[in-house]
Structure 1
Amino acid sequence: MSFLNLKKYDLLFNLTRYFPLNSLNKKAFLFCSITSSLFLTGCMTSSRQDQIQSSISQLQGQIFQIQEQLSKRDQQITNTTQTAISSQNEVQNLQTQIQLTQGSVDELKARLKRMEETAGSTGNEQNVVTLSNSPEFVTLQRHIARIDLVLNTRLNNPKKGKLPEKLKTVQAITKSLKNDLEQNKYKQLIDNSTAILNAHEASDAMQQIAIEFRAEARFKTQDYKNAVLDFTSYIEKFPDAPKNARALLLTGDSYVYLNNNSIAKTYYQECAKIYANMPEGKAATSRLANLMAQSTSSQTKAQ
């Protein structure tokens, strides 16, 4: 089963709406090839470097375990009912599982922070900079942040269905959702785009438009958690989509509003690097500079 197939929504708490595990697994395979040449080379002792690499490997293993837990939970829900969980006991059981998994994510976040502190304990600032900028480390941070958001997103009940009567073509969907956005009809936009994403006959082009506009609507209504989940799903599922620059920029903005500047910086950096000549890339560069200035100011005050 493809975790990126948005046509197959029929879970109460469907991770695949927000968390493209297929893409995650592909990237995760890259983790296994981490060598000392990727980061920290020449910056710290061999023993210290081995400790950091060992910690990253352990974190990767824990992330895979959490993925498996979430996947099994969703499958259990599917086997129980194709529409909704009606039993209060089942709801409580699901909430308990979420809390347990949240505990694992909190542990991952704490260990990630300790790794950065360990890298900096050598007295060489370059150690921290190199570790933080490592593609593998950045990807690890993003995955943990995304899992964290998924776990904290309220339960919903997406049902498999058909396309809305007046939204059966790409042109009709684009026109309708665009009008809703321009007229600030955000609830209607979110409802219609969700119905499209839940429709089994929706094409990839329809899904792309629906998730693009729903992400925008959620951002404008300050639903930043769900906005991040939609924007990142859009980026992962449609890597060549025309609005990827904006999706990267607004993902960064959303994380700022969620008080997670460290993850916001990674999206600003990616946007600024890939789309340097576009307005979004220039905006990302400006936002990144502001965050860096704020960080420097905070450190100065702390001293």
Structure 2
Amino acid sequence: MKKIKSKIFFTAIVSAVFLSGCVTTGEYEQIRADITKLHIENSQLKQEVSELKTRMDKMSSDLSTATALKEGQLTLIAQTQDYVKELQILKGRFEESSYSNDKKFKELSDKIAELQAKLTQPQQPIPQKEPEQKKISPGQLKNPKEIYDSAHVDIKEKRYASARDKFQEITKNYPDFELLPNSYFWIGETYYSEKKYEDAILAYEEFLKKYPKHDKAPGALLKEGMAFLELKDKKTAKVVFERVIERYPKSKEAEIAQQKIAEILKSQNSGKKSTKTKSKTKTKSKQ
């Protein structure tokens, strides 16, 4: 269509020139060549404009992509900075918790060491009062299973010292006995039943050191905390109960330990309130 228009334009010019009678054949050819050149230059110019427009569109697209990437990078940097801050906070909490736990466990270890030192001091033997029934000494039995079963009979009959002797016989002379771990546990139980809580704590601790993953381990640690509670040492008892929850979080003993901690905290809060009330009463009486 454009070519047709150009031809019509060219013909009109040529016609006008010839009609005027002022142009020679050579001038006509020159004019025609100039017009053709202008047409070619015009086409090239249009092509260059089109290419320039294409490049501009591409640059605009690249610029939009770069802007989006920069915004994404800035967002990512901001998120990373937030994560770093959160990580620092969590690290601080972890270090604080770790220090607190280490301190508590050190106090517990010191307490147990103190009990060990206290119980190793020479003391006057206290005669044991037991029901007058026929006792079976470990030496009269043939194998560790018989000794073990006999010890449990003694426990049912509340002959705790006799039962303990038999369990101790097993721990000393039958290291391959399948119920050896249980024997260590029941030594603690005999002491606890006799209300010898300090001895019970040491016995439970020995069992836990030897068999920390045994089925009876949660119960032994819980009873250790109960023994400290019976000794009116609520602070250490709380540490032990927390240890139960930490080591055996899904156990029934952990639930009981949580209840015991709640009871300790409740009693401590009640004591604080009572102290404040007494203080206020004294202040009023002075006035």
* Smaller-chain TM-score bracket: 0.5 to 0.7
Gaps of 5+ in 1: 1-36, 43-48, 50-129, 158-162
Offset at 1:299? 2.3
RMSD: 3.2
- C-alpha distance in 2 between matches for 1:181 and 1:207: 17
Given candidates 98, 104, 113, the residue that maps to 1:147 is: 113
Residue 166 (structure 1) aligned with residue 132 (structure 2): no
Letter in 2 for 1:153: L
| 1:9 equivalent in structure 2 | none
Question: Sequence identity of aligned pairs in percent?
Answer: 16
Offset at 1:216? 0.5
Greater helix proportion: 2
Query: How many residues matched?
Result: 175
| 1:189 equivalent in structure 2 | 163
Change (3 A) 1:156 1:164: farther
- C-alpha distance in 1 between matches for 2:259 and 2:164: 30
| 2:256 equivalent in structure 1 | 283
Q: How does 1:109-258 map to 2 (within 5 A)?
A: 130=96, 134-155=100-121, 164-166=139-141, 168-169=143-144, 171-199=145-173, 201-203=174-176, 205-258=178-231
Q: Secondary structure at the match of 1:134?
A: helix
Task: Tell me whether 171-180 or 133-142 shows the greater mean CA deviation.
Answer: 171-180
- C-alpha distance in 1 between matches for 2:91 and 2:160: 47
Offset at 1:143? 1.0
Gaps of 5+ in 2: 1-87, 124-137, 277-287
1:164–1:192 Cα contact (<8 Å) kept: no
Q: Computing the radius of gyration over CA atoms, which structure comes out larger, 1 or 2? A: 2
Change (3 A) 1:152 1:204: farther
Per-residue CA deviations over 1:174-221 (Å, capped at 9, x if unaligned) read 32222222222212111212233333x533745422211111111011
1:215–1:227 Cα contact (<8 Å) kept: yes
Letter in 1 for 2:234: N
1:164–1:196 Cα contact (<8 Å) kept: no
Change (3 A) 1:167 1:222: farther
Per-residue CA deviations over 1:160-180 (Å, capped at 9, x if unaligned) read xxx7442633x3343222222
Bigger relative contact order, structure 1 or 2 (CA pairs below 8 A, ≥6 apart): 1
* Structure-2-length-normalised TM-score: 0.53
- C-alpha distance in 1 between matches for 2:183 and 2:106: 28
Per-residue CA deviations over 1:237-272 (Å, capped at 9, x if unaligned) read 111111111111110010011121111112211223
Change (3 A) 1:167 1:257: farther
Residue 269 (structure 1) aligned with residue 235 (structure 2): no
| 2:57 equivalent in structure 1 | none
* Structure-1-length-normalised TM-score: 0.50
